[in-house]
Copies of this chain bind each other. A is one copy, B any other.
C-alpha cells in the first residue's frame, strides 16, 4: 500500500531507539519505552532485531556506514584537488568535519540523535574501545595518514594524541548538553553546529601545527 508515504514499523523502532539511546545510554532505556514511543508492540523489536544489544548495534551501524562513505569521499576529493604535496592540515580537518555539519543541518533529526549517541559511545569505557575502533578507526587511519604527510616533522605519538583531542572536542559538541548555553548566559547554543565547526576547524588546525612542530603557512 502506502509503502512510500509511511515509514515502516521497523524503521520507526530504529529511529526511536536512536533517540532514546542517545539521551539515556544503553542501560537507561527499556525495550518497552522504545516500543511505546514508536507505537508498536513490545515484541516487535525482538522480532526484527533480536536482543536489546543487537538493536543497539543496528542503530549504531545504520548511519556509521553512510558517514564513513561521505567522509571518505570528502578526503579523496580534497586529495584530488591538492597537488602532489597533498592537502593541508586545515583541508583534512575540513574533510573530516564538514560531512557531519551537513548531516546535522539536513533537517533529519535522526542525525542529531545519532551523533549524540556517538558522543556517549566515544566517552564510554565499555563501548568506546569496541565500537568506535571497529567501525570508525579504519577510516580514521586514512585521515591520520594524510595528516602525517601534511606534518612531516611530527612523530606519530604527537599525531595520535592530537587526534584524541580533536575527537573529544568533536564528540562533546555532538552531545548537545546545553551546558555552553548556560555557561555563556545564552550567548552560545549547543545546537548551533555551523558556528561550532567554524571555530573548531581553526582551533584544531592550530593545535596540530603547534604540537607537531610546524609553522602554519
Taking the nearest CB of chain B, how far is it from the CB of A87, in angstroms?
19
Asked if A124 contacts B175 (CB within 8 A), the reply is yes
State how many residues of chain A have any CB contact under 8 Å with chain B.
Answer: 66
Q: What is the predominant secondary structure among interface residues of chain A facing chain B?
A: helix
With a cutoff of 8 Å between Cβ atoms, the chain B residues found around residue A105 in the complex are none
Find A137's partner among B164, B183, B202 (CB 8 Å cutoff).
B183
Q: Kindly state whether residue A133 has any CB partner on chain B within 8 Å.
A: yes
Asked if B126 contacts A23 (CB within 8 A), the reply is yes
Q: List the number of copies, as a whole number.
A: 2
Q: Which of A125, A156, A207 has the most CB of B within 10 A?
A: A125
Asked if A179 contacts B126 (CB within 8 A), the reply is no
Asked if A180 contacts B161 (CB within 8 A), the reply is yes
Asked if B177 contacts A124 (CB within 8 A), the reply is yes
Asked if A175 contacts B133 (CB within 8 A), the reply is no
Asked if B164 contacts A180 (CB within 8 A), the reply is yes
Closest 10 CB pairs of A and B: A168-B172, A128-B177, A206-B210, A203-B207, A165-B169, A27-B28, A27-B27, A168-B169, A168-B168, A160-B184
A-B contact pairs, 30 of them (CB 8 A): A25-B27, A25-B28, A28-B28, A28-B126, A119-B123, A123-B175, A125-B175, A125-B178, A128-B178, A133-B183, A137-B182, A141-B183, A156-B184, A156-B187, A157-B188, A160-B180, A160-B183, A161-B195, A161-B200, A162-B203, A163-B180, A164-B169, A164-B172, A165-B165, A165-B200, A165-B204, A166-B169, A171-B172, A202-B207, A206-B209
